[in-house]
Amino acid sequence: MDSFARSLPPLSRLRPFEAAARLESFTLAAAELGLTQTAVSKQISLLEADLGTALFERRNRAVFLTEEGRRFGRVVTAALAEIAAEAAHLRGALVPGGLVLHCQLCEAFYWLMPRLSRFHERHPDIELRVVSSLEPLTAAREPFDVAIQTTGRASGSARLAFTAADEVFPVCAPEVLKGVSLPLAPQELSAFPLLSHLVVPQDWMDWSDWFDVIGVPVPADLRPTHFDSFPLVVQAAVAGQGIALGWRRTVDTMLAEGKLVRPSTDVVKRPTELSVFRGSRRGGHAETRALLDWLGEELALPL
């Protein structure tokens, strides 16, 4: 047996690991592969024993990649993606060209779309397909070259390229504040209907977090109206239904157009609020680098 074969882990253990690392869930990996959760867990435990290191932390019926697991996951995911792409090519299947940019729906709609023409002007020969989603990267339904999402959301084995800053502050339609003395103190905000994006897990800032960060006790009467997507929260705010938390990169255009205003001067600065990731899709390295460089320039512009 040659040294390559001796150093390679059993392939039967790599597929369960790759799925679990990408989805950051044994249960979801089992469903994707048509296995039981116990079978996935056993294969990963055997792989960890073979490698002599823990790839996941098991806590409270959930699993989280260790740093070693995240690195190994990136390698395995990329390798299996290469094999799948080449197999598709040999079978005569058309492998879509260009780049796939996976983006959270709110950033795709409110931040990316108004700027995308600048990328096409700079790189007219690069075909770019934008895929938007409300779900974290671990639920992505297809491979991607680059992804943008809120820092702290589940990212599986995706490789972090860089982070970017954002700011969070209250916003509402001008008519909500008719006859009101401005600016409002933080304690006065809960006297108005508050709008909230509620998700499980709550992996980005909500009203109770915002009050806590600016050092104000969470109002005892805090009873926001919840929506299951941030774009709905923004549209409810524009329609005058209440006060929402706005991320500057998302609401800046609406503030400039007068559709939204800031009822309070309080702001929470988030220096690493957005994360940009490299994906495992078999895209052109130079094209991926061009997209990452452009996103880095756009996200580095002053807020």
Give the phi and the psi of residue 67 in degrees, each rounded to 5: -65, -40
237-248 b/e (C-beta count within 10 Å ≥ 16 → b) = bbeebbbbbbbb
Triad 168, 209, 154: Cα angle to 5°: 85
Q: Enumerate residues 6+ apart whose C-beta is below 8 A from 239.
A: 173
Residue of 9 and 4 predicted with greater confidence = 9
- Summarised one tens digit per residue, pLDDT across range 257-285 is 999 999 999 999 999 999 999 987 765 68
pLDDT band at 97 (very low <50, low <70, confident <90, very high): low
Residue of 6 and 132 predicted with greater confidence = 132
- Percent of the chain exceeding pLDDT 90 equals 58
For the CA atoms of 186, 110, 130, 166, the dihedral, rounded to the nearest 10 degrees, stands at: -40
What pLDDT, on the 0 to 100 scale, is given for residue 283? 59
Find, among 48, 13, 19, the residue nearest to 33 by Cα. Answer: 19
What pLDDT, on the 0 to 100 scale, is given for residue 79? 83
Q: What is the mean pLDDT of residues 276-300?
A: 89
Find, among 42, 85, 41, 43, the residue nearest to 63 by Cα. Answer: 41
Q: How many CB atoms lie within 10 A of CB 200?
A: 6
Residue of 135 and 54 predicted with greater confidence = 54
Task: Report helix, strand or coil for 268.
Answer: strand
Is pLDDT of 299 > 90? Answer: yes
What pLDDT, on the 0 to 100 scale, is given for residue 282? 64
What pLDDT, on the 0 to 100 scale, is given for residue 1? 45
Where in the chain are the domains?
A: 3-90, 97-303
Is pLDDT of 95 > 80? Answer: no
pLDDT band at 19 (very low <50, low <70, confident <90, very high): confident
Q: What is the mean pLDDT of residues 195-207?
A: 86
Is pLDDT of 198 > 70? Answer: yes
Give yes or no on whether 3-90 and 97-303 have one common fold.
no
Helical residues (DSSP H) of 91-204, grouped into ranges: 105-106, 116-122
Record: fold of 3-90: Arc Repressor Mutant, subunit A (1.10.10)
Give the architecture-level CATH label for domain 97-303.
Answer: 3-Layer(aba) Sandwich (3.40)
Is pLDDT of 119 > 80? Answer: yes
Pairing between strand 268-278 and 194-197?
unpaired
Q: What is the mean pLDDT of residues 90-105?
A: 75
pLDDT band at 89 (very low <50, low <70, confident <90, very high): low
Task: Report helix, strand or coil for 191.
Answer: helix
Q: What is the mean pLDDT of residues 163-179?
A: 96
